[in-house]
Structure 1
């Protein structure tokens, strides 16, 4: 096996990835009148659910802004942008435009149903989302919000240190988003490890469980980094996998562009029980199997490489949008 083959041992073929993202989608007809009712059914869907074609944006200010400006370091985290209502919408449009701009995707007039948020009821319509629950049988995944989820991988790789130079311990920082999983974890381990909330703005009553924020560079001084899902996917998982550290986490429930369900415990990460009660046991095993843990970190980097290879990844995005346009049609019209 060549060095190149070894480096790609965890890669999936473009068609395998597209099949995963399409979530079993075959031929499907979207009734636009039904779509309109679903969009207007609640305030959340009104904000997040849209029919979007590249053609409607091509050569507009929004297209130019997405192509040349929004990704710039001093711009990407600004939440109020000129001429646009929400920064995350713009971040998602930036990703949607890429296969058209870079590879000349021909389905410019086709209207794709995009959902910009994490959750939302779409009544069977196969919308393109950045993530889906494990039991979601309708949503199609696209590579949205890379500035938040994928861009930090570059920082991780740039600022990382060798495994042997890392602290043989664990760290976690995050927000109080999501269900009670994070609260349960922090309450249990706050006084035992470097585990805490970095912000408690959403749940101020948890301020006693807060510690100072820690940069990615500083977190990578640890061999083990906890990864916990919040509103949807764990936002730190991609950069931890792409580093020389090992993620410790429960089996993923949410799925995104990196196909979390394909990750294997003791191959790509160390697994916490669903109730998060076994961290001490995991760390004890890790201390007795240092070489195996170093290999797990290496496996994570090989796995993530397929999503960080721009040439390969954009081809997958293009194929996905082509397949979607071939399988989905519309009836009726929105007046």
Structure 2
């Protein structure tokens, strides 16, 4: 039997196309690296002539916190590091492709450690990762813009906040590493609160009634508020929610990615709720009663998102991050 809802979702989910992403990246694999390697120096020199020079360096230093005199176990790093040209393509191909898009500007003989997946610990040695915990002494976690086909998605929301319904929506999967989502669902699933529309997108044997079909992004945007709950690491929907005219609602983040979640200001870029969600209804009602403050949060969120939309600048920042990594780790190589 054809599931019409499933077909509708596939055609209208509003997400980036995985097919186009992989076609583009497999084609890039055939392009000679010498072309991009020639461009690297001129691209990096161009930074010094840009009016946003200081901003670019600031972003690069945020992602790569190592300094030239940074000390780490070089012997341990050398045991794990591989040449870029010998980097295996793991099952999670998006990490490989996104990292290689930047690495192709450098010598393929340089060595690195590229760690795929949702990382919530600080590696023992300098490592290229997508996500890192928000904690002190996380210099070994060097952030690149990885898995961007899923995470970096922005929307053009034409529906004004005041025209949306006075509820918060949550759709997401549950699992053993997502205890916060389980806490949320136990409180608000099954219509326990009229202001909260909460359902799981995967089957949970203990709570089969929690599962509902996935909703498109456009359907989410009928709600004034959208829950952005961390999963294995960060909340993957946070980027598109902050680009919309709805407001992200979440506890303070514990991890960050290229989106620099650690720099977000509570109740300025998003609505902060307690980790146990005990104040959720109170916080929603406050902003429903104070629409000007809600719309100010939306404006601040849009301003924050805008900094990631300049693709040329994003490339320059990525090049600086990786060059700094190679300079500090590959001390006996010619970058």
> Which TM-score tier does this pair reach, normalised by the shorter chain?
0.7 to 0.9
* In structure 2, distance between residues paired with 1:329 and 1:112: 8
How far apart are residue 312 of structure 1 and its match?
1.4
Match of 1:182 in 2: 181
> Per the alignment, in what secondary structure is the counterpart of residue 268 of structure 2?
coil
Residue pair 1:246, 1:270 contacting (<8 A) in 2 also: yes
Q: Taking structure 1 as reference, are residues 210 and 160 closer, same or farther at Cα in structure 2, changes over 3 Å only?
A: farther
Question: Are 1:199 and 2:230 counterparts?
Answer: no
> Per the alignment, in what secondary structure is the counterpart of residue 277 of structure 1?
coil
* In structure 2, distance between residues paired with 1:247 and 1:306: 18
Question: Are 1:51 and 2:54 counterparts?
Answer: no
Q: Taking structure 1 as reference, are residues 85 and 112 closer, same or farther at Cα in structure 2, changes over 3 Å only?
A: closer
Question: Are 1:249 and 2:246 counterparts?
Answer: no
Equivalent residue runs for 1:1-335 within 5 Å: 13-26=55-68, 27-28=70-71, 31=74, 36=79, 51-53=82-84, 55-56=85-86, 85-86=90-91, 88=92, 90-99=93-102, 105-119=105-119, 124-135=124-135, 137=138, 138-150=140-152, 152-153=153-154, 156-157=155-156, 160-177=158-175, 178-190=177-189, 191=191, 192=193, 193-200=196-203, 203-329=204-330
* In structure 2, distance between residues paired with 1:131 and 1:196: 26
Q: Taking structure 1 as reference, are residues 100 and 22 closer, same or farther at Cα in structure 2, changes over 3 Å only?
A: closer
> Per the alignment, in what secondary structure is the counterpart of residue 92 of structure 1?
helix
Q: Taking structure 1 as reference, are residues 120 and 278 closer, same or farther at Cα in structure 2, changes over 3 Å only?
A: closer
Higher normalized contact order (CA 8 Å, seq sep 6+, divided by chain length): 1
Residue pair 2:145, 2:318 contacting (<8 A) in 1 also: yes
How far apart are residue 256 of structure 1 and its match?
0.7
* In structure 2, distance between residues paired with 1:290 and 1:120: 36
How far apart are residue 123 of structure 1 and its match?
5.2
Q: Mark the runs of 5 or more structure 2 residues left unpaired by the alignment.
A: 1-52
Residue pair 1:142, 1:317 contacting (<8 A) in 2 also: yes
* In structure 2, distance between residues paired with 1:30 and 1:329: 13
* In structure 1, distance between residues paired with 2:66 and 2:322: 15
Residue pair 2:250, 2:272 contacting (<8 A) in 1 also: yes
> Per the alignment, in what secondary structure is the counterpart of residue 148 of structure 1?
helix
RMSD of aligned alpha carbons:
2.6
Q: Deviations over 1:244-299 (max 9, x none)?
A: 11100001110110111110112100001122211011111111111221121121
Q: Paired residues, what number? A: 272
Match of 1:44 in 2: none
* In structure 2, distance between residues paired with 1:113 and 1:245: 38
TM, length-normalised to structure 1: 0.74
Q: Deviations over 1:158-206 (max 9, x none)?
A: x552323322221010010323110111111122121111113xx4323
Q: Taking structure 1 as reference, are residues 169 and 18 closer, same or farther at Cα in structure 2, changes over 3 Å only?
A: same
Residue pair 1:249, 1:269 contacting (<8 A) in 2 also: yes
